[in-house]
Structure 1
């Protein structure tokens, strides 16, 4: 029997994928109840199916939300996920929070976190956005390929304000800025 297993906690959901009873099986739990039960040929296939199911659950929750989150809600989320944040995540959040008008480019985020390129900052800010989204889903814009822009959990593109800007500018959502400051995690 294989000892392979993958698990993650994402907001109210817990995902577990493992080899059991001679098959690869994945289960998603919420509040002690099984929400999804998946069987596939490999552990990776089970994990992908579980992540897709989680994404669909979160999109449904986001669509049902009629207003944006409050600063108090996002502060609680930051406290809950603080142990998952890397030094780079915290450096980017600090730089963004302290930036003039809370507007910052990915290049500036990369410099703040000591990443070599803006693409590394984009990746890490997207991962951070996904962590926030897992805890407190909101409706997010879609890319042409249908995937959601997870960074928009933290900020929105603010280049419409100045289309002549050379680099893409992220403007931190006001409730994120207020909640981040109130959380005390930085």
Structure 2
């Protein structure tokens, strides 16, 4: 993305922020309609405001959901977004799906994907979780800074620690069932 424009597709939404005249403007689109239209002094301010607006919309959807998503819903999401997955994303999902009790550490995810360390796996699994969240928002736990833990879209922290005192992530059952049903791996 350039210094003059940023754009991203997130589920049914498209965020566009760009330089216009002496300032910056941003639009959050949904199904061809403007949902948010803002102007600010910097591209960063516009982008942050658009991301916050999208996040608030998704959190509202998640809060309104009474049940967990079904395996069939998640399978459809996986099929819709599979073209965005890297080989590393697929390798991590496959390793997690095939792990004993579907529980795995970030170091094990990194090894499966060929990443140098658990930090890379944490980043990529969080990005993968964000892709799922954009399509099928659920209520997620928050960090101390108030941000949502996107990896929890895929898995839950078992509040247990594996080798090297790492968290153990247990794949959500409906994610595992949906992943199997999707046939993307």
| TM-score with structure 2 setting the length | 0.93
Retained in 1: the 8 A contact 2:162–2:168?
no
SS of aligned partner of 1:68: coil
What is the CA RMSD across the aligned residues, in angstroms? 1.8
Q: CA deviation at 1:3?
A: 8.9
In the alignment, structure 1 residue 134 sits paired with structure 2 residue 131 = no
Deviation digits for residues 44-84 of structure 1, max 9, x if unmatched?
Answer: 22111111111111111111111000111111111111111
Structure 1 residues 164 and 88: CA distance shift in structure 2, 3 A: closer
Q: CA deviation at 1:92?
A: 0.3
Number of positions where the alignment pairs a residue of Structure 1 with one of Structure 2: 183
Match of 1:184? 183
Deviation digits for residues 9-59 of structure 1, max 9, x if unmatched?
Answer: 111111111123443100001122211111111222211111111111111
Distance (Å, rounded) in 1 between the aligned partners of 2:144 and 2:111: 29
Distance (Å, rounded) in 2 between the aligned partners of 1:71 and 1:172: 13
Match of 1:159? 159
SS of aligned partner of 1:159: strand
| TM-score with structure 1 setting the length | 0.92
Instruction: Identify unmatched segments of 5+ residues in structure 1.
Output: none
Instruction: Identify unmatched segments of 5+ residues in structure 2.
Output: none
Q: CA deviation at 1:158?
A: 1.3
